[in-house]
């Protein structure tokens, strides 16, 4: 807080630093976490909140690598890759999670490949949505979960 007051008083090239610290300039990171999408309790609302639409085209050019049976629902390794051209983002959802939206990756020049580990509450489809050429494509894969991973 003290630093901000100091910068306000100097008014030098601190103008940019001031703007950044007060959130006026769009920083590299996402400005505000998409609470609406992440809190959505069904897949359609989660997609609407995160992508702006619940309409996607099924694509066989999206590959979901995930175990057929996850022993531990708290740690399910998932790798999404796609041969679609110029993929701008990859979004991952777990259909039957209390809040299905798990993550969204904006690829600014990165390849259509993300690998991470997710929590799944119960047996469900893992849905991967890739944005390419202004359209959304999706694929799904069922992952059986023996021990749920959301703490409930």
Partner 1 sequence: MAKSSIKVRAKAKNGVVTVKALISHKMETGLRKDKKTGKVIPAHFIEAVDCEHNGAPVMNAEWGVAISKNPYLSFKFSGASGDTVKLTWKDNKGKSDSLEAKVK
Which residues are at the interface with partner 1 (CB under 8 A)? 28-30, 33-34, 38, 74-77, 79, 94, 97-99, 101-111, 113-120, 149-152
Closest approach, Cβ 11 to partner 1, in A, equals: 27
Closest approach, Cβ 18 to partner 1, in A, equals: 19
Residue closer to partner 1, measured from CB, 17 or 99: 99
DSSP character string of 23-65? T-S--SS-SS--HHHHH-SSHHHHHHHHHS-S--EE-TTEEEE
How big is the CA angle at 32 (ends 27 and 33), to the nearest 5 degrees?
Answer: 125
Closest approach, Cβ 77 to partner 1, in A, equals: 8
Residue closer to partner 1, measured from CB, 117 or 135: 117
Would you say 119 and 97 are in contact if contact means Cβ atoms under 8 Å apart? yes
Residue closer to partner 1, measured from CB, 2 or 9: 2
Paired tokens of 52: 């702006």
Q: Hey, how many other C-beta atoms are within 10 angstroms of the C-beta on 95?
A: 18
Closest approach, Cβ 26 to partner 1, in A, equals: 11
């Amino acid at each position: 807080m003290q630093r901000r007051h100091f910068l306000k008083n100097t008014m030098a090239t601190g103008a940019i630093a001031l703007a950044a610290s007060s959130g006026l300039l769009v920083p590299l990171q996402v400005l505000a976490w998409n609470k609406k999408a992440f809190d959505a309790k069904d897949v359609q609302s989660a997609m609407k909140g995160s992508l702006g639409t619940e309409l996607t085209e099924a694509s066989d050019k999206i590959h979901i690598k995930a175990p057929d049976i996850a022993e531990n629902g708290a740690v399910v390794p998932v790798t999404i890759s796609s041969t679609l051209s110029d993929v701008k983002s990859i979004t991952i959802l777990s259909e039957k999670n209390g809040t299905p939206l798990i993550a969204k990756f904006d690829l600014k020049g990165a390849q259509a490949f993300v690998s991470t580990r997710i929590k799944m509450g119960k047996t469900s489809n893992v849905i991967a949505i890739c944005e390419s050429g202004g359209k959304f494509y999706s694929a799904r894969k069922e992952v059986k979960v023996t021990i749920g991973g959301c703490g409930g």
